[in-house]
Amino acid sequence: MTEAVRLLNPDGTVHPDERYAMPDPAELRARYRSLVLGRRLNEQAGALVRQGKLAVYPSSLGQEACQVAAAAVLRSGDWLFPTYRDTVAVVERGVDPVEVLMMLRGDWHCGYDPATHHVAPQSTPLATQLLHAVGVAHAATLKGEDTVVMALCGDGATSEGDFHEALNFAAVFGAPVVFLVQNNKYAISVPLARQSAAKSLADKGIGYGVPSALVDGNDLAALLAVLGEAVERAASGGGPTLVEADTYRIDAHTNADDATRYRTDAEVDEWRPRDPLVRMRSYLGLSGDEFRDDAEELAARLRAGLSTESAPDPAELFAHVYATPTPQLTTQADLLRAELEADEEPA
């Protein structure tokens, strides 16, 4: 698998592909708005970290097309399984952006109600969410539902055992899962060449008997077409798909990472002209001012929502871990409560 599916060239001109139709311009305009908001969210979250309002933020700047497309192709009953880097996808799915950032502020395990939104908590352990995604998808099949699950991971996560178990199970049981691997070229400081000897990560899906595609991950139109087709196939009983998105992380891994230690400015500069926003904007013939007010409104909401001091109840640490708490968790919760009460007693 060498040629990535592409519908738009980096300069916004059409790159015809006989297998995939160009999505409708009205849909592209709506999704372009999401790209603009996603970019603003990435920038504002970075600023909030610098102001001490967020503990950490793994930016998806440069990867917004993958983020928007992953959520946009899902139907209301479908599920999204995101990672720590997929905040923009979670917001595109309809979750309140302030709630999403609660986890990264350190207030909550999650910040939103997964069941309400059909969005699993953003996973920090690499690739564990892929097994959970497959489990939810298989359970839906057993219940006779046509639910589709979109499972996101990075290139580094494909080196984890869980990735391989998830693909194998999904293939054997025909689980309705779409695996989207955002190949942003680095697992923190480890380049892809030191993660995998395969020519493409999409080839890994083929080994398991999973239909797989390599897509230009900075081309929103191509992502919508390929992921949309994969969701349709899964919903109609056609089983899993793996999509590798060829993209690049423009920012550092997180604010705690110094990317200059493992990559050159020249390499980053090579990717800048492939910006997914600029490409879609050129295709749609927009000036760049469109949706600016919406983006500023989002940024203002984030600033306001994260400027208040929160006082989370420590007992909530134990809530939602299991539907029925284990005896060990109950003991730990009791110990914590006793310690907190002892601290409150006057000396």
Ligand X SMILES: Cc1ncc(C[n+]2csc(CCOP(=O)(O)OP(=O)(O)O)c2C)c(N)n1
E strand or H helix that includes residue 50: helix 25-50
Q: Which is nearer to ligand X, 253 or 274 (CB)?
A: 253
Task: Determine whether 40 is an active site residue.
Answer: no
Task: Determine whether 322 is an active site residue.
Answer: no
Question: How far is it, in rounded angstroms, from Cα 338 to Cα 317?
Answer: 15
The residue type of 149 is V
Q: Per CB under 6 A, does 156 bind ligand X?
A: yes
Site for ligand X in 183-242 (CB under 6 A): 184, 186-188
Q: Which is nearer to ligand X, 86 or 229 (CB)?
A: 86
Q: Find the binder of ligand X among 85, 93, 274, 279 (CB under 6 A).
A: 85
Kindly give, in sequence order, each residue whose CB lies less than 8 Å from that of residue 345, ignoring residues fewer than 6 positions away. Answer: none
Q: Which is nearer to ligand X, 78 or 155 (CB)?
A: 155
Q: Per CB under 6 A, does 157 bind ligand X?
A: yes
Catalytic residue among 85, 253, 279, 281: 253
- Find the shortest distance in angstroms from Cβ 58 to ligand X: 6
- Find the shortest distance in angstroms from Cβ 59 to ligand X: 10
Site string for ligand X, 116-155 (x = CB under 6 A): --------xxx--------------------------xxx
By the 8 A CB rule, do 105 and 310 touch? yes
E strand or H helix that includes residue 257: none
- Find the shortest distance in angstroms from Cβ 249 to ligand X: 6
Q: Which is nearer to ligand X, 186 or 283 (CB)?
A: 186
Q: 3-state DSSP call for residue 186?
A: strand
Q: Per CB under 6 A, does 104 bind ligand X?
A: no
Q: 3-state DSSP call for residue 181?
A: strand
Catalytic residue among 31, 249, 274, 281: 249
Kindly give, in sequence order, each residue whose CB lies less than 8 Å from that of residue 142, ignoring residues fewer than 6 positions away. Answer: none
Q: Which is nearer to ligand X, 141 or 159 (CB)?
A: 159
Kindly give, in sequence order, each residue whose CB lies less than 8 Å from that of residue 47, ignoring residues fewer than 6 positions away. Answer: none
Catalytic residue among 15, 262, 263, 301: 262
- Find the shortest distance in angstroms from Cβ 262 to ligand X: 12
Burial of 62 (0-12, 13-18, 19+ CB in 10 A): buried
- Find the shortest distance in angstroms from Cβ 251 to ligand X: 11
Q: Which is nearer to ligand X, 182 or 212 (CB)?
A: 182
Question: How far is it, in rounded angstroms, from Cα 54 to Cα 21?
Answer: 41
Question: How far is it, in rounded angstroms, from Cα 93 to Cα 147?
Answer: 15
Q: 3-state DSSP call for residue 177?
A: strand
Q: Which is nearer to ligand X, 140 or 259 (CB)?
A: 259
Q: Per CB under 6 A, does 46 bind ligand X?
A: no
Minimal CB distance to ligand X: which residue? 154
Kindly give, in sequence order, each residue whose CB lies less than 8 Å from that of residue 75, ignoring residues fewer than 6 positions away. Answer: 148, 231, 235
Handedness of CA 67, 70, 72, 77 (dihedral sign): negative
Question: How far is it, in rounded angstroms, from Cα 161 to Cα 138?
Answer: 19
Q: Per CB under 6 A, does 304 bind ligand X?
A: no
- Find the shortest distance in angstroms from Cβ 11 to ligand X: 27
E strand or H helix that includes residue 216: strand 212-216
- Find the shortest distance in angstroms from Cβ 309 to ligand X: 29
Task: Determine whether 19 is an active site residue.
Answer: no
Interface positions with ligand X (CB under 6 A)? 85, 124-126, 153-157, 184, 186-188, 249, 253
List residues with catalytic annotation: 249, 253, 262
